[in-house]
Structure 1
Amino acid sequence: MKPILIRSVTILHPASKFNNKLADVLIKDGKIAGLSDKIIAKDDVVVIDGKGKYLSPGFLDLNANFGEPGFETKEDLISGAAAAIAGGFTGVAIQPSTNPVIHSKSEVSYIVNRTKDFITDVYPVGSISHNREGKDLAELYDMRLSGAIAFSDGTRPVTDSGLMSRALLYAKGFDGLVFSFPEDSSIAGKGKMNEGTVSTYLGMKGIPALAEEVHISRDLYLAEYNDCPIHFSTISSAGSVDLIRKAKKKGLKVSCDVAAHHLTLTDEALTEFDSNYKVKPPLRASSDVLALLKGIKDGTIDAIVSQHTPHEIEFKEVEFEIASFGIIGLQTVLPLLVKAGLPPENIVEKLAIKPREILNLPVPSFEEGEDANLVLFDLDSEWIFDNTTNRSKASNSPFFNQSLKGKVFLACNKAQVFNNF
């Protein structure tokens, strides 16, 4: 790759002396070769005007679903990674919702080896239970040795309290981290959307916020009893934010994330029965959205995720009742956070800094001689999310064929460059 000089760009990196300042950045041979107020361009350098744009460490997504192995028609590793880098994600943790399930060192090793040369770092999340059945513990330690970054049963909640307790305690022994998807299935039942005024109006079975909050309460007790860290995936209700805020004040080792779409959409979007708005946890009420945004600003919510869930057309373009849960989201996270009104510093903290801290990964350094793991973006440029810009195999998104504000222009990792000018 030719050397790249980004001129007069605003640096967003809390550990950099140039944080929130304008600087020139030179990238050469996959490393940051220069970072200063002014860099003289040479003839062989590609010069990029960074005015009005931001440069930060590459984003890292804690929750994405790729289909491979087994469900490659939904998304394979190549297409999923392509969607990730287009969204500014130089790292992505993928859920074990595959076939076979990522529940042993074989599947973990396959993903690690298959993706080692990708521009995006792909981190497999191993399942908590064998085959995600919630009965027996999977091979947690073996998976960790093979490269599993954390453990989760995806959107299948671990209903057995004893199993979850043992998983937390076992993972603690080797500094592993358990992700909890909080939903009490006995309360959620066969609900299809948030239980509330809109579900009553539509005559549809609802999933009450109580189902999420009861499960969070249980897992907080288990984490406290075992003195273990725990991470809650995709919380969605005001009550959940309050529970986690109190747990943090109490000193528990708890972290959590929220899906980007839960910050801008409410259950009122479902009045037309568009299955592209059918997600789990479901879109909640406007009061929940406000509580989530407050939780982001006060530090209760640590990270924001895509919850990228691709589906073939036959799983979504059907009656709402039988449509599958989930939307694709890797390329729309940044525009949704712009729409939610988050400032750029907040965006970088929740997409680039905190996710790595949760996974105990080093935050890419902005120092001369360090590997260039970064993303260049702005909050004002508009682009259309359609068949020409979509990098995923799937198109199940309520934002498809819409003009979105907030664009990733360039991303760099492992001496490779994604260029979207």
Structure 2
Amino acid sequence: MDDLPLVGIRVLDLTRVRAGPTAVRQLADWGAEVIKIEVPDSAGGDGGLGGPREGPDFQNLHRNKRSMTLNLKDRRGRQILLDMARQADVVVENFRPDVKKRLKIDHKALKSVNEGLIYCSISGFGQDGPYEKRPGVDQIAQGMGGLMSITGQPGRGPMRVGIPVADLTAGLLAAQGILMALIQRQRTGRGQWVRTSLLQAQVFMLDFQAARWLVGGEVAGQVGNEHPTGVPTNAWATADGHINVAPAGDRLYTRFCNAVGAPELIEHPDFATGALRYRNRAALNERIAEILAGRTTAEWVELLNAAGVPCGPINAIDEVFEDPQVRHLGMARQVEDDGDPLSLVGQAIEMDGCAPRLTRRAGAKGADTVAILKETGYDAETIEGFRRDGVI
């Protein structure tokens, strides 16, 4: 692990549910020492699991972390956190803004004990403004951020995306912000308050769909499996399943037409230019559907790839991890510990000279509490008192 870029960075993880744990997982997988701080059972803590601790979701989110329990509503628990913050590089939290202020563990409070601390906050809607106190979850952000209005088939109503894209994007952006703040600290010696929210992340991820409105005043709608602007791009039925094909642009369209044995479509008066193909997309899609129904998905994938036309099968999740390229990229990673075999989702970043490793599965709540408190400077008698009084 010594070759990983974040070795030596200590992170206190106060997050729950998904966006915050996603951010911290990025740091843990790349070598940071992460301490996951959870509410003791005696104080009504459930850990924000969203499922059993040994289940796939929790294990995937919280690998490579140590766990301790701490009652932050107790003044002694808050003092322990302040003591730990003195020795930490990063704190990540996703409390509602009013909650962390009430607990006196906000950025201002922790900065007072460590000027170099990077404090990262993830919220539903931002740290201030008219929605500051609203609770926020992924699906709410997908709706408010516009994604559900452009997902799904026309006329069938809004449709959520099949993954928590707002949560995941907010987590990844938070991790990026933390890394930028760590680089800035090397120059200035000062920490930083890094902030993002599910709503900001979702609006950011609208990308070109947002730009269509901001620049051109065009409100995008639902187009199902078609690309909003790149025609023809769609998912078509084949003789034994479905295939995605993306031959948008004159060059790819010409290759596609020749490859599928329909050169007459190249100069067809309704499809000869990109503008015509966009205008007459329904007729073109119908013609392509007739052609692609004549062979199997595998046959089309081989033929179209040979012609340099972007295409691919539509895989179920089990098929994803059987795909030879996915296997080559190592997207399923084995946890390297002494427990029963456990595979989790690998990282999607590659770097020369180092590779993230999964060295620790998520263990029992508070399994490392005593060891961490000793590292922070507390003696055994004091720690036992904390346990007796429900502080840990």
TM-score normalised over the length of structure 1? 0.27
Higher helix residue share = 2
TM-score normalised over the length of structure 2? 0.29
Bigger Cα Rg: 2
